[in-house]
Chain A
């Protein structure tokens, strides 16, 4: 069985579900369950190792290495969690999509459950793509699907505004990326990354045009992952988009950006490459600025979704620094694997936060940090889960978040980048401040005299919440769980 058939299968499932949505009047929940079933089957194939290899004729476009399989699994888990989250958030989607919310029951939900499948297909292809055309098409499949998802609540001014902002900046980053690609092709005459790497290692003559191309491509990708100074869209889009989409953006879209970045940076940093020095400098400076700005701007936030947006910027900074540390032999991991590990720890903690945020929103609470007050008393389980996730985001020892940051910091030490070591530590210390502010809110008394309705979750969400919290705690003491999946 070729891994390509997984992508084809999931894409086909998405198409069938769209047809079901338009022709059959089944309960929309069934569409979500069908999508979840398909994703679970695909995950089972990947975990069992049944996803074989691809024929040699495809090797120039599409590889199946442990990193690719890891990111494929990552994409599937993120999509699963998003659809489960969407089930929780469905009433609000319906309220802001339907023309007459009181007359219809489930308008627009079918698309909302099936579109993530296309994003997932894009991310899975991207995980394997080693050719500029394949990378571009997969990246755009993800981005265009996200345009629709972000602006999905067409009767919500905030969602539309987020959609327009994401659209314009996303299209801008695409323009930069393609223009960079065209120059890279013009200079090297190659579209496959292996060909480009060979040409870069044996480059003679003026390297300025190559640097121009590399800079444009890095700028385009920095937009996608939300690195300073290309981060301006993140807080607005995160705040305005529907909560499940925000979660998907912060995990899925980020991972997609980083898998491409890992492959492309790997090409630029091939031994003997003419652009290796500048690329490392660009990554480090972007990463350092991103860590500092993300963490410092997060302190002033009062909206929880916005705070998570800035926190996601800060995490992107650590990931960029991780990619720049290429001599990580002491960790027995490559720089790409350190970044993949970091993303894998980032997934559960982010989804726990957004699951709880959805549960609160569905019960009529706002999205401000202040509205979390009293959660620890009203529903102690949810309160504890949120506290663990936030502690992990901050990087408290014995949580997954600590291990992720630990590897990145260890990598900077191995490289001798002591400036960036200092920045990473300062960023982490700042993080403690604002994450613990939220934990404090969870365990403080509510402002109002009477308590509101108790936020609660459906069965599927409870199961995934438990799995994610367990993952945070287990990986915190036993990081090899993820490392084995990565370094086969």
Chain B
């Protein structure tokens, strides 16, 4: 009975581990030790008011939105795959895993391309 909850426990451990590792990595790799004026100021709600009330959005937002839509929507294929995974892994074995991984590989190519073309580079 209790071992049915093992996957849940594993997922919780993985989630906690991922969050911990990310936080740790940002402390180690980032420049969190450096102090500056902004960091030392008292935190208040929201941003300091800057610029006009109705600014025209930079075209960069569109690019990020487009990339988000593209990568986000692919989950639609992973969800049904995950639902039938257990039934089909008995029939096809590990192959069903590699099929989805090849699909993710195509997404990876798209991601690498977007990265190299500086689509993710906010400052350029």
Q: Cβ of B116 < 8 Å from any Cβ of A?
A: yes
**C-alpha gap A23/B117 in the complex (Å):** 9
Q: Cβ of B6 < 8 Å from any Cβ of A?
A: no
Interface flags for A17-55 (1: CB within 8 Å of B; 0: not) read 011001100000000000000000000000000000000
**C-alpha gap A485/B112 in the complex (Å):** 42
For B, the interface residue count at a CB cutoff of 8 angstroms equals 6
Q: Cβ of B106 < 8 Å from any Cβ of A?
A: yes
Within 8 A of B (CB), among A230-264: none
Q: Cβ of B109 < 8 Å from any Cβ of A?
A: yes
**C-alpha gap A318/B108 in the complex (Å):** 45
**C-alpha gap A23/B116 in the complex (Å):** 7
Shortest Cβ distance from A18 into B: residue = B113
For A, the interface residue count at a CB cutoff of 8 angstroms equals 5
- How many residue pairs link A and B with beta carbons under 8 A? The number is 13
Chain A residues whose C-beta falls within 8 Å of the C-beta of B106 in the assembled complex: 15
Query: Smallest distance from the beta carbon of A377 to chain B beta carbons, Å?
Result: 46
Chain A residues whose C-beta falls within 8 Å of the C-beta of B116 in the assembled complex: 22-23
Chain B residues whose C-beta falls within 8 Å of the C-beta of A22 in the assembled complex: 112-113, 116-117
Chain A residues whose C-beta falls within 8 Å of the C-beta of B109 in the assembled complex: 15, 18-19
Query: Smallest distance from the beta carbon of B121 to chain A beta carbons, Å?
Result: 13
**C-alpha gap A18/B112 in the complex (Å):** 10
Shortest Cβ distance from B115 into A: residue = A22
Query: Smallest distance from the beta carbon of B123 to chain A beta carbons, Å?
Result: 17
Interface flags for B91-122 (1: CB within 8 Å of A; 0: not) read 00000000000000010010011001100000
**C-alpha gap A369/B106 in the complex (Å):** 45
Within 8 A of A (CB), among B33-48: none
Query: Smallest distance from the beta carbon of B101 to chain A beta carbons, Å?
Result: 14
Query: Smallest distance from the beta carbon of A140 to chain B beta carbons, Å?
Result: 13
Shortest Cβ distance from B106 into A: residue = A15
**C-alpha gap A23/B113 in the complex (Å):** 8
Shortest Cβ distance from A23 into B: residue = B116
Chain A residues whose C-beta falls within 8 Å of the C-beta of B112 in the assembled complex: 19, 22-23
Query: Smallest distance from the beta carbon of A295 to chain B beta carbons, Å?
Result: 42
Chain A residues whose C-beta falls within 8 Å of the C-beta of B117 in the assembled complex: 22
Shortest Cβ distance from B109 into A: residue = A15
Chain A residues whose C-beta falls within 8 Å of the C-beta of B113 in the assembled complex: 18-19, 22
**C-alpha gap A104/B111 in the complex (Å):** 24
**C-alpha gap A22/B109 in the complex (Å):** 10
**C-alpha gap A19/B117 in the complex (Å):** 11
Chain B residues whose C-beta falls within 8 Å of the C-beta of A18 in the assembled complex: 109, 113
Shortest Cβ distance from A22 into B: residue = B116
Within 8 A of A (CB), among B63-106: 106
Query: Smallest distance from the beta carbon of A42 to chain B beta carbons, Å?
Result: 19
**C-alpha gap A22/B117 in the complex (Å):** 7
Q: List 13 A-B contacts (CB under 8 A).
A: A15-B106, A15-B109, A18-B109, A18-B113, A19-B109, A19-B112, A19-B113, A22-B112, A22-B113, A22-B116, A22-B117, A23-B112, A23-B116
Given A18-B113, A23-B116, 11 more A-B residue pairs with CB atoms under 8 Å apart are A15-B106, A15-B109, A18-B109, A19-B109, A19-B112, A19-B113, A22-B112, A22-B113, A22-B116, A22-B117, A23-B112
The 4 closest A-B pairs by CB, nearest first: A22-B116, A15-B109, A22-B113, A18-B113
